[in-house]
Each structure stands twice: as C-alpha cells, then as structure tokens.
Amino acid sequence: MTATATPPVTLPAEPLGPGGIVWYAAGDQRALLLAVRLLLHQVAHPMVGAGVEQQSVYKTDPYGRLWRTTQSVVRSVYGGRAAAEEGQRLLRMHASIRGTDAQGRSYHALNPQAYAWVHWTAYEGTRLFLRDFGPGLTDEQDQQLFEEWQRLGLLIGVRPDQLPETREEFWAGWREQLPRLENNPVVQDILYAAPRAPRWLPVPRRWADAALQRLASPMLALQRDVIAATLDPDFRARIGLPAPSRRTRRRVAGLRLVSRLGNGLPEPVRLAPLALLRGRRTRRDGTTRPEPVPYP
C-alpha cells in the first residue's frame, strides 16, 4: 500500500512576515503607551464590555489574563502559519461566552460585529502609535498597514464581510460605531482601578495591594492623559474624562518626543522578549516570507 501525502493546510490569508508594519509595531514596547486606550475602545462596545464584566477573570487573575492575551497576540502576529491555529483556538474559546447584560440585552462573544470590533481597534490604535509616537506613517505605509491588518483579521477568524475593503470604508464604519460605545464598569476599572498584587508575594496581601496602588496611580494618571488627548471628544465626555488641559497636552507632546527617540533602537531592545523570540523562531522555521515592502 502506498502512503498518500497529507494535503497542505489551506490558510484563509497569507501569514504576516518579517519586515512588515504589524511585525514592527505589535511587539514594540513603546506601544504600551496606548495599550489602555486600545482596551478602552474594545470594552466600551456593549457586547464586549458585558462579556468581560460577567465572564472575564481580569479582576481575579489579572496577570494570568495579561500573559495569555500577550501570548495570543504574539502567536497571531509572529507565529507564521501558527496564526491560523491561534485563530481557531480563539473562536473555540469565545464560543461559550454568552449571556444577558444588566440592561437585559443578549450578548455573544462570537457575534460577528462584536468579534470584529476588537480587531478594528487594532488598526486604529496601531496607526496612531506609528504616526504620533513612532517613526511616522506615509499614505503608502498606511495602506500597507491596512492590508496587513486585513490579513491578520482573516487569520484570527474575523468574517470577511466584517473587514472593510478600503480605508475609507473603515473610517466610515468607525465613525458610525463611535456613538454606540458606552460607559460601563469595565471602562471605569480600566481608567482608575489598579490590579491587585500577585498572591505569591511574600508579604501580607493588604501591604502589597497598597504598595501596588501607590505605584500604579501615576501610571494610570499618565494613561488618562494620553487617552484624554487622543480620544474622540464625544466619547471622552461620555466616559467622564475631562477635556485635556494645556498642561495635559504639553505632557503628552513631551511623551511623544521621548517615544520617538526609540525609533532607531535595534529590534532586540525595542521589541518585547516574547515577540522577539517568537519572531526569531518563525524566521528559522521558514514558515512565512518577508513582507515585500520593509518598514520603516
């Protein structure tokens, strides 16, 4: 009996490769400056916020959740062909997340529009980071970013009909969605609540929590400044953030200048360790091709 060859796995899109814009940005440690803002947009969606509030462990296991989220993003962006496997895992994981929110509205994590919205925030947030806090973004590079973002969406299970075909279509959909975003307890937690200290610290829990609160307060204040200075004004007012003062704008402008000093840093310094290691592994495996137009 002759053995039959295993048919190749058909991917929904070409995996992202070295030299691309998303490879540059997703693991960049400076992108943490906008991480809270990105998450804020996501959980302000009524369905996403309800699912996180009722079924997430972001309060009881914040560090575990952060680690798992980081692993998922790194695998999706830097994992080559493994990105599609991660997409299938995400779909299976979200399938059981459903329920009814405090207003009696049904939600499901795999609602096509809600699932896609989380990915939509990634394009808007990555574009802002590169344009204002990173090396900049020409119109041609913005188009390249958009096309890479479309490919990544297909790889992680976003339905094709939820991915706009053009940037103009994206921004029209973004403007349409913004008035539907809501203030909710998760939004307020993200803006003001520091996570509890890890249980394994060898000190009394109340001391560790108090120390972490003191350390986190200035970081949360800085994040609120960045959010206030960059958020849509109507949405900002809806979640209770005051308009940015002149001092806030100066502070954020200085932060932009400092962030841009990192543009020339070598990849081993600029990228988070997990992204660096996974990217190197994918390069060695040869499971993806370099992007045709390197960035920056």
User: What is the secondary structure of 81-101 as a DSSP string?
Assistant: THHHHHHHHHHHHHTT-EEE-
Closest CA to 186 of 279, 102, 292: 102
Q: Compute the half-sphere exposure of residue 110: CA atoms within 13 Å on the CB side of its CA.
A: 13
- Strand-pair partners of 133: none
Structure tokens at 160: 């094709």
The predicted structure's pLDDT at residue 9: 54
CA pair distance 125, 73, nearest whole angstrom: 14
Q: How far is CA 242 from CA 169, 254, 275, 286, in A?
A: 30, 20, 35, 50
The predicted structure's pLDDT at residue 245: 97
CA pair distance 183, 47, nearest whole angstrom: 12
Please state the pTM of the whole predicted model. 0.92
- Residue the block writes with tokens 């992007």: 291
CA pair distance 38, 43, nearest whole angstrom: 9
18 alpha-carbon distance from chain centroid: 19
Who contacts 152 (Cβ-Cβ below 8 Å, separation ≥6)? 13, 16, 22, 76, 77, 83, 119, 122
From the CA atom positions of the chain, what is the Rg in Å?
A: 20
Write a three-state SS string for 58-86.
Answer: CCCCHHHHHHHHHHHHHHHHHCCCHHHHH
The predicted structure's pLDDT at residue 33: 95
- Contact indicator for 167, 146 with CB cutoff of 8 Å: yes
CA pair distance 202, 28, nearest whole angstrom: 32
Name the burial class of residue 215, with classes exposed (0-12), middle (13-18) and buried (19+) by CB atoms within 10 angstroms of its CB.
exposed
Q: How far is CA 15 from CA 71, 149, 273, 278, in A?
A: 17, 11, 21, 14
Closest CA to 83 of 152, 18, 22: 152
Q: Residues of the chain whose pLDDT is less than 50? A: 1-7
Torsion from C-alpha of 89, 90, 95, 99, nearest 10 degrees: 150
Q: Identify the helix (H) or strand (E) that includes residue 248.
A: helix 246-260
DSSP 19-70: TSHHHHHHTBGGGGGGHHHHHHHHHTSHHHHHHHHHH--TTTSHHHHHHHHH
Q: How far is CA 207 from CA 116, 213, 215, in A?
A: 41, 10, 12
